[in-house]
A and B are shown apart, each in its own frame.
Chain A
């Protein structure tokens, strides 16, 4: 594998759906993060004369039940959703890779026990665990007054979701490491007397970049969806803060046949669904480009 990047990139570029999604994602991220300077204030500014106003020229996407501009809230929510998804996925990737690589490399009885544990965790009602983790970790962060309540909730959610989403990652990485371990170059490294940590970091890890990237991309939408699930149940981000999920949940709560404020649901949902679709497309494209299923050096 002399220049693996270029080959992957060439194969990825031929996939039109994935390329389009990539473009959309970059655009979405740029919009959400570049507008933070304006949205941070605008998303909290209530205006009681324009409560639940339909989309117009002054408020492009309308306003919510406190007269806050929905465009600002959607953009800000996007920034929060995306960073939460990235944080959670990053955490899941780190835990999953470390766990899977260790189990696969050490092998034998240790590997067996570690993978049994993963099997057991797979069967857990993990949403219950996320809720429990959120509340118990959140209580500690609030007690220590490390950060404000809003941000402590955000951090706790990312931690909790990341802590339960690493299982698939661990399984895939372990499978890869099992086959990598038998390759001549690893044997050579071992024969030269390198310590295990160094072999794992310098020789095994670079060869795992494919599955890591693919699963990171596919974990981000999962994390964003799980956060929206929690928001709907009232255990998500703390109110003045918003995510796409919590905005959609608030909109859904306000829906009724008499006052059908569709914009409160449609716009956050469209942003959410488009981003998740794009992430899934990019993930699939990357999987084909890296040829993860038959990953070979």
Chain B
């Protein structure tokens, strides 16, 4: 199943790339002499028929030989670009996803436990604002207030822990807000169930009821949102990288798409697809951990 999905995605991406007119080689200000253009075409394998290029030469050069060149950085191979930029983007994404989940669930549980009170109303209001503001505005405001006026953390860059603080928060906030909304409404649904009444009736402490009984069931909608959230966060990091000048995939992606750098586009799409598809696989497994009923059901069918 997994390889088939990847093949389909790759074919789709190839189709899209091929539908774009131009090979993106003549992107300089001056027209290149025909001999140079011919040499470039050979270097990038454009002299081969498309089927051979996309489904044999490029995958082979990318994975096996690791010497597939990228258009706009002539002395860099795609693999080198990925090696330098991808870990940064993935770190940022993982940190933000983690923060979004933890913060979102915590706020959701708290506001469900105190429903109707000012804490609940405050968090519901903040969550609505959180999902309605573009990330780059939140990021820019944080950057100016925290980094430039208060001078608590550095303005940009990547590597030191203090540099990861603002980008992570910026990227995580909208998704934390959405997860908080999900958790809150799922918790409120759970409160009306019989097993919660039973748990209270047998004298468990309120927190025990909340965290052990209600939250466990409220986690399911959050889990099923994790897949789309991961997709959005890992691509959303492009914007955050631009604000905080983080050397991640963002600039490469935008430039490769603007320059029609087919090899880098295809490689990026594939890397992100593989990553997100495996992530979704893990989420599917987690389903069974959180809700044993699903595990049992899967075994009987």
Contact = CB atoms under 8 A, between A and B. Distances in A.
Given A122-B227, A143-B21, A265-B137, A131 B257 contact: yes
B196 interface: no
A122 B242 CA distance: 26
A277 B129 contact: yes
B246 to A, nearest CB: 14
A232 B265 contact: no
Nearest to A252: B140
Interface string A245-269: 1001100100101001000010001
Interface string B244-276: 000000100110011010000100110011001
Given A120-B5, A280-B128, 20 more contacts: A120-B277, A122-B227, A124-B276, A125-B272, A126-B232, A126-B235, A127-B238, A128-B235, A128-B269, A133-B16, A135-B257, A229-B134, A233-B239, A235-B257, A252-B140, A257-B144, A272-B133, A272-B134, A277-B132, A280-B131
Contacts of B234: 125
Given A124-B9, A269-B133, A136 B19 contact: yes
Contacts of A140: 19, 21
A201 interface: no
A199 to B, nearest CB: 30
A218 B140 CA distance: 26
Given A131-B254, A135-B258, A265-B137, A232 B13 contact: no
What is the size category of the interface that chain A forms with chain B? 35 or more
B105 to A, nearest CB: 21
B154 interface: no
Interface in B222-237: 227-228, 231-232, 234-236
Contacts of B257: 131-132, 135, 235
Given A124-B273, A132-B265, A228 B280 contact: no
Interface residues of B, number: 49
Interface string B20-33: 11100000000000
Contacts of A260: 144
A125 B132 contact: no
B290 interface: no
Interface in A216-238: 221, 225, 228-229, 232-235
B276 to A, nearest CB: 5
B36 interface: no
Given A132-B265, A135-B260, A143-B21, A123 B134 contact: no
Nearest to B276: A123
A139 interface: yes
Given A124-B9, A125-B269, A233-B242, A249 B136 contact: yes
